[in-house]
Every structure is written in structure tokens, then in C-alpha cells.
Structure 1
């Protein structure tokens, strides 16, 4: 090995490391979002147990359904992010094996990196979709509370 080869290997392994950091940040965010969704779903389920009005029950069931959809989207995004991490680690390992052992892996590092980036892109799109659903959910709840407050106490 010579210094220029060592430098090239380190440079080739640096890009996956940056992607690993970005992916890990997204994964942390997704897991935090999932925890908030679960907390909200549990709250809605507790509220549902105490509701006798069919209209209110239907509204809570709709909200619970939305939380279920959000949790499934976050789950898929998390799975894609874990796949991306695996691809980026595989990229670094493939570069190291290719360089230090003399085994020629050809375009494997490139394919692994590309798969990781595609998984990260798909996960990001899912996270964006879930964010939209989160805003929709809170807007609907705020709109419902406004309507509920406008009903005079004598008619409620």
C-alpha cells in the first residue's frame, strides 16, 4: 500500500460515513415520531372507552385509524432507513475488502451505495407523507374543537 492508495480508500469510505450519519438522524427522528404517534393512539383509545355518543365514537375511531396509518408509514420508513444503513455499511466494507484483500468486487460498492441512497429517498418520501398526515390530524382536531365550543351550553 502506498499513501495515495490509502488516501483514495479513506476518501471512498467517507461518503458512506456521511450517509450513515444522515440516515441515523432520520431514523432517530422517525423513532421519536413513532413514539408520539403511539402515545396519541393510546390517549384516543382511552377516550374511546368512555364515549357513549355514536357521532363522537365515530370521530374517535377515525382519529385512531389515522394514527394507525401514520404508525405503519413510520414503520416502513424505519425499515427503509435500516436497509439504507446496511447498504452504507456494506459499501464501506466492500471498499475495504476490495482494497486490502485484493479481491475485486467490481461495481458492488457502487450498487450498495446506490441502493442505500434509494432506500433513504423512499424513507424520506414516507416521512414527508406522515408529516402531512400529522398536520391533517391536528387541524381536524382543532377544527372539531372550534365547532364544539361554538355550541351554546344550553343546547349541549
Structure 2
């Protein structure tokens, strides 16, 4: 192979690592969006009950509050995941631009990759908070039903 072809393969190979992170982030996004849809569906049911005359029922109002909190955690997690996805796409593009420019911007791909990982860390934090809130909400619903 000629050196030009070797360098093109090296660039494409380097671009695979961010592509794997993009795929993993996409899977997390799918999961988080599914969880968000389920929380929103449950919240709609609770609001229907509230509008049907259950106003003032403390347990129902607490459930609505808990589900709103969960939806906010999931929304933040999704925003972080979309930012991570954008950062990993940027990392892949920055690797190509760096290679085409003769390695004149070597820090850009690294910074973009680190930024993506920081966004993933933030998303993991909010996903963890949502799971904790879901378990606590479920335990509170069981307590309310048994009371």
C-alpha cells in the first residue's frame, strides 16, 4: 500500500473508537427515552385522576410530584446524552480534520472526546438519581396502598 492509503486507513481506524462510543450512547438514549415515555404516561394517568375529582388527595399529589421529579431527572439525562453524542461525533470529525490538516490541531479530538465522556458521566449521575427516585416512589405507593 502507498503511504497516502495507509494514512487514510489510520484515520478511519482512529475514527472507530468514537463511533463505538456513539453506538453505546445511542443505546443509553433509547433506554432513557423509553423510561421517560413510561413516566410521562403514568403522569398523564395521575393527572386524569386528579382532574376527575381526586384533588386534595395527598397521596395522589405526592405521586404526581414524585413522577415530575423523575421526568426532570430523565430529561437532564437525555440532554447530557445528546451532548455526549454530539461530542463523540465532533471527536470523529476532529480526528479527520486533524489528519487532513497534517496534525495541526492534535488537542481538538482529545478535548472533544473528554467532553463527551464528561457528558456521559453527567448522564449516568441523573440516570442513577432517576432509578433511585423510581424505587422510592414505588415504595411510597406500596405504603399508601397498604395504609
In structure 1, the residue matched to 2:8 is: 6
In structure 1, the residue matched to 2:90 is: 90
Instruction: Select between 65-74 and 135-144 the one with higher mean Cα deviation.
Output: 135-144
Matches within 5 A, 1:2-151: 2-52=4-54, 54=56, 57-102=57-102, 104-147=104-147
User: 2:94–2:108: 8 Å Cα contact kept in structure 1?
Assistant: yes
**Separation in 2 of the partners of 1:110 and 1:86?**
14
TM-score (norm 2): 0.90
In structure 2, the residue matched to 1:151 is: none
Unaligned runs of 5+ residues in structure 1 are 148-156
Q: How many residues align?
A: 145
Measured at CA, do residues 52 and 92 of structure 1 come closer, stay the same or move farther in structure 2, by a change above 3 Å? closer
- 1:120-156 CA-to-partner distances (Å, cap 9, x unmatched) read 1110111011011111111211222122xxxxxxxxx
Measured at CA, do residues 65 and 3 of structure 1 come closer, stay the same or move farther in structure 2, by a change above 3 Å? same
Unaligned runs of 5+ residues in structure 2 are none
Measured at CA, do residues 52 and 78 of structure 1 come closer, stay the same or move farther in structure 2, by a change above 3 Å? closer
**Separation in 2 of the partners of 1:77 and 1:95?**
27
**Separation in 1 of the partners of 2:6 and 2:54?**
74
Query: Alignment partner of 1:2: what SS?
Result: helix
**Separation in 2 of the partners of 1:74 and 1:59?**
23
Which structure would you say has the larger Rg?
1
Instruction: Select between 64-73 and 109-118 the one with higher mean Cα deviation.
Output: 64-73
CA RMSD of aligned residues (A): 1.7
